Structure formats: C-alpha cells, structure tokens
Chains A and B, each alone.
Chain A
Amino acid sequence: MADTLIEPAPRATAETEPAPRATTETEPAPRATAETETAPPGQETRQETRQEHRTPTVIADGVDIVYRVTGTGAGRGSATAALNRIVRREKHGKGGVREVHAVKGVSFTAYEGEAIGLIGTNGSGKSTLLRAVAGLLPTENGRIYTHGQPSLLGVNAALMSDLTGERNVMLGGLAMGMSREQIRERYDGIVEFSGINEKGDFITLPMRTYSSGMAARLRFSIAAAKDHDVLLIDEALATGDRKFQKRSEARIRELRATAGTVFLVSHNNKSIRDTCDRVLWLERGELRMDGPTAEVLGEYEKFTGAGK
C-alpha cells in the first residue's frame, strides 16, 4: 500500500509499514516534512473516521508503468536507419528500444462518491495513470484493483468520425453495454446534454464535420449517459464552452451521488476546485501529494508559481 505517503509520528500506530517494502521505498526527506507541515491535524482525523465506513472503488498498489518506445535512434524515419536498427537489434537484443518510466510507485485508494482531481505539470504521468486505471495500459509492477469497469474519457477518443452523431450515440451506448431500449430512452437526453442541436440539426451530420469542441461534448454526453462505477475524465471538458462545463460539472456531481467515483485530469485549477474534493498531485511520475483540494492546489500553485 501507500508506503511512500505514510506519515511519521501521529498515525504510526495504525499504519505500520509492511516490512518487506520498507527497505526499498523510503520517503525522500524534504517532501515528507513539507507535507507534514501542511496537514492540519483536526481535518486529518475527521477524514480518517469517514473513510473507515466507505467502500473503496479503485486501489492502486505500488503502480509502475513503463513505456517501450521504438524508433528513437538518430535519423529515425530514414530507411537506412530503420534497417540499421533491425540489424543491430538482432545483434544486441534490444537496441533501438527506449524505456520511459512514466509512473513510479504510485499508491492510493479511491472511495465511493469521491471526485478526485489529478494535477501535475505536462508529462507528469497523469493521463498514463488514468489509462492504467481504465485497464488500457499494463502495469510493470504493482496492481490496480477496480470496482466494475472504469470508463476513460479522453480528448482524442474519437468515436467513428465517418458516422453521424446519431449513429455514434447508438454505437457508443451499445459498446458500453446498454441495450437498444435504454439508448432509445436516453437518446434525447444525451443529445440535449451535448447541446449539439442548439445551433441546428447537427446530430444527423457525420462526426467528421463537427468542431473539436462539439465532438468532445458529444463524446462526454455519450459516456456520461451511463451510470459508471468509475469514470475517468482526461481533459475532456477543456474543449467545451463555459455553459457546457457547468452542465458537465453538475453531471459529475450526479454521478458521485449515485456512488460512482470520478477522476478528473485538468489544468484548469478552477474546474478542479469546483468539482473535486480530493486531489492527487503527480510530478515526474511520482505521487507528490494527496489530500483535500484546497490544500494540494495551494501547494501546487506555489510550485508552479501560478496566481494565489
């Protein structure tokens, strides 16, 4: 479990570090102190008691994710270089493949009804972590346990661009395991929520004709139509206009109310503040901080030098 995040003094009784891990994963000193300082003790105990009665929906246990990237050698793209790589690989085993350690030893437990924001500078591993939670990326070490099947909603999750919005709603619903009747029932709701038809009859046009904002809205509406146990949103709201963002934030709260867990990756601190009650801060693939929104965001803003 979350060894790297365990605090020293006040809670040591309850959270004895599992023996075998203790040697390998020691807390970097400056981080630990900084974090202890920020934790108001009163709030801490309140949270703990609350968690005892809650059901976990996602458990990440020391998750490591490593990408293997081919074609990083010099002069990539040229035919001779490609041939060279093939020849070299045969000789040396794994030349030309580079390993990128994108997520390092991340552990956390998410509970029912929580909305968790993921923050961190670009390339810190947020999207990678979400994709692993969704079961779309294999973990190198450690495991992720989930309740039901998490659904990931990303910016580049184009559905079928040559089909009409209407068909996409139908197919998206069927792919998520809804029945035809359920989709028919919710169809109007989905279209209305997406706001695609606000400026004319666009739902009957192929999705390739949509603007990126419209497509993102429709995708979110389709995915949000189902009651997910765990919904992972990867900057999908960023493209929508303010009105749509408001609507989606309301829908996220609804999903939480029906005992779902929502993860939200966003660079918009305001949107995190409005929707999430807990925030995970990833930096260089490591979980740097985990706590109530205001607190973590405060630290993060200090770190990035953004406005206070």
Chain B
Amino acid sequence: MSQTLDTPQTPAPVETPEQAPLDAAALAALHGLSVSNARPSLPQYVRQLWARRHFITAFATAKLTAQYSQAKLGQVWQVMTPLLNAAVYYLIFGLLLGTSKDIDDFVPFLVTGVFVFTFTQSSVMAGTRAISGNLGLVRALHFPRASLPISLCLQQLQQLLFSMAALAVILLCFGVPPAWSWFLVVPALALQFAFNTGLALVMARLGSRTPDLAQLMPFVMRTWMYGSGVMFSIKKVLPEQGVPEFAKVLLECNPAAVYIDLVRYALIDSFDAGQLPYDIGAMWALALGWAVVLCVGGFIYFWKAEETYGRG
C-alpha cells in the first residue's frame, strides 16, 4: 500500500484507543461533511423544493409541449383527446343506454364530469410513473424528488386549461347560459389540484417500489370513475338499484364525486342545489378536507422515502 487512506495524522503517536486518530464521523464533522443519502428534514425539504420551483414549472411545460410532438396533428390533441373521450361516453351512456333521460343538459353534465375526472385520473397515472418513468433523470441529477410528481400534476393542470376552454364552448353550444358562478370553478379546481398532487405523491412512492402498479392503476381508476357519477347521477340512480345506504354515502363523499359535483354546480344552470347530496357548504368543506388531508399527508408520505428513490 502506498498511502494512508484514512485520517490526517495526529501529531503525536497514539497508543490508546481512546486517543485514536479522528474516526470517520469526527473527521467528517470537523470538515463539515454530511452523510450522503441522508434525508433532509421536512422544513429543509420544503425549502429545497421551493428553490427548484423554476425546474418544476419548466419541466411541466416541457412535458406538455413534448407530449404530442410525435403526432402529426401535434397540439391539436390537447383538445381532441378529452373531446373524443366525452364523445365515446355520450355514445354509450347517452344514446345506447339512455342514462340521459332523467338528467337535464346531459351533454354538459357528462362532459364536465369526464373532464374533471380525467384531471384526477391523469394526475394519478402520471404520479404512479413519476419516479419509475424518470429514473434516468433521478439517477443522473440531484433535486428533491417531489419535484417530479408535483411537476407532472402541474402539467395536468395546464392540460386542464385546454379542456376547460373546450368545455366553455360546449356549454355555450348546448345553451347553458354563462353566469358569474362559473368563476367558482377556479377554487374548486384549485382544491382538486391540491388533492391530485397529494395523491400523485402517494402513488409516486408506491409506484417507485412496485412498478406493477402502473399496470393495475387503469382498472382502479376505471372503477373509481364509474363509481363517481361521471355519466349518471349517484343521487338518482343508486336508490333505484337497491344499493345500501353506506355505499351511497361512500360514493357521494368520494373526492372525485365531490369535485365533479362542485364544478357542475358552478357551471350548469339546471344542476341546482337539489342535485347535490349535501348542502353546498358541506360540499365545500368536503372538498377542502380532502385537499388538505391528501396534500399534507401525501407530501409527508413521499418525503419519508426520499433517500430511496432511484434505487434498483
């Protein structure tokens, strides 16, 4: 061996173990070295994340513009995809199954539901793959990993703006009068965004450990969608089918249904307070509750495993 690998020598020869040359931990402390791969404290983590806010927004925008870059029609798909989605559901549920018969303004009702649910759905799907789909980036560069799921949710929010513009046109075409209440969509979607981000953070952690989730999630999401009254009214349909009360409450309180109902209530004239499962104050409280619980809980849950992302 040709050189010492450990500590700088202490001047005096050392014989007793108590006076041994600085051990690694002491030497590291002396020179201000920190343990590699240590998880930052929660406030530190929030600060780091804030410092990367430009990365988060730039990543979201870049992903959005790159999304359809391989398609010939390009950005037209931003609007086409949700519209086609709505058209399919209209064909099946509106025309074939006749769910529309006891709902006024069925098309606005359906399209609003599809768009709002798609927001949550795509955020969850993007979150599931946030870490496992960006391993190259995670392994190459250092940044707080929560940037990725947050950024992907932001991308979905930007995408939602296209959908909302399309929705406004559809509403007007189907004779829904514009009203001041339309602005209530903004706080509703803001809360939904917070909820989505929290859920995406949870899914990102789970998905990084178990990539199989990406295969499973489409089925979970589809079940969730059918249970959230996207294409039918929970309030009207379930009692007729003899569904037990607790299941009905569960479906009505589920976050997706709450956000969908709030947006419908804000936008569609004929969707009045009578259509809501609870009074409007309770609905907003539910929306706020879900958003806060998931956002805070999801963030902490994600942060708890910060040092393990990118393994394997």
- A contact set with B: CB distance below 8 Å: 1-2, 5-7, 11, 13-16, 18-19, 32, 35-36, 38-40, 43-44, 47-48, 51-59, 61, 107-109, 131-139, 143-147, 149-154, 156-160, 162-163, 167, 170-172, 174-177, 179-180, 206, 219, 223, 278, 289-292, 295-296
Contact = CB atoms under 8 A, between A and B. Distances in A.
B141 interface: yes
B72 interface: no
A156 B23 CA distance: 36
B136 A144 contact: no
**By CB atoms of chain A within 10 A, which of B21, B27, B36, B307 has the most?**
B36
Contact of A132 (B9, B36, B58, B142): B36
A285 B37 CA distance: 20
B81 interface: no
Contact of B1 (A5, A136, A146, A156): A5
Those 6 A-B pairs whose CB atoms lie nearest each other, nearest first: A157-B140, A291-B2, A1-B6, A61-B24, A145-B28, A135-B37
B23 A147 contact: no
Interface in B140-199: 140-143, 147
Interface stretch (B11-19, B82-90, B271-279): B11-19
B195 to A, nearest CB: 26
A267 B58 CA distance: 37
Contact of A158 (B31, B54, B58, B136): B136
A36 B3 CA distance: 10
16 contacts: A1-B21, A2-B4, A15-B9, A18-B23, A35-B2, A39-B2, A52-B9, A59-B27, A143-B36, A158-B136, A159-B136, A160-B134, A175-B137, A176-B143, A177-B143, A296-B2
**By CB atoms of chain A within 10 A, which of B1, B15, B32, B51 has the most?**
B1
Interface stretch (B62-70, B97-105, B225-233, B243-251): B62-70
A250 B52 CA distance: 30
Given A158-B136, A159-B136, A175-B137, 14 more contacts: A2-B4, A5-B6, A7-B1, A15-B6, A47-B4, A48-B3, A56-B27, A56-B31, A109-B24, A131-B139, A158-B140, A171-B59, A179-B54, A291-B2
A291 B69 CA distance: 51
A47 B136 CA distance: 38
A157 B139 contact: yes
Contact of B2 (A43, A109, A133, A152): A43
A147 B32 contact: yes
Contacts of B24: 1, 59, 61, 107, 109, 143, 145
Contact of B66 (A136, A163, A172): A163
A154 B5 CA distance: 26
A146 B28 CA distance: 8
Contact of A61 (B8, B25, B54): B25
Contacts of A43: 2
Nearest to A138: B37
Contacts of A59: 24, 27-28, 33
Contacts of B308: 138
A150 B27 contact: no
A176 B142 contact: yes
Nearest to B1: A35
Contacts of A153: 140
Nearest to B8: A52
Contacts of A133: 36
Contact of B36 (A19, A47, A135): A135
A16 B15 contact: yes
B306 to A, nearest CB: 10
B35 A144 contact: yes
A32 B14 CA distance: 22
A114 to B, nearest CB: 11
B173 to A, nearest CB: 34
B2 A295 contact: yes
A57 B17 CA distance: 25
Contacts of B23: 1, 18, 61
B33 A146 contact: yes
Contacts of B25: 61, 143, 145
Given A150-B36, A174-B52, A206-B69, A1 B5 contact: yes
A107 B2 contact: no
B139 A152 contact: yes
Contact of A175 (B6, B35, B52): B52
A153 B140 CA distance: 6
B5 A175 contact: no
A151 B141 contact: yes
A174 B36 contact: no
Given A138-B311, A143-B24, A48 B31 contact: no
A56 B28 CA distance: 8
A18 B137 CA distance: 40
B204 to A, nearest CB: 16
Nearest to B53: A174
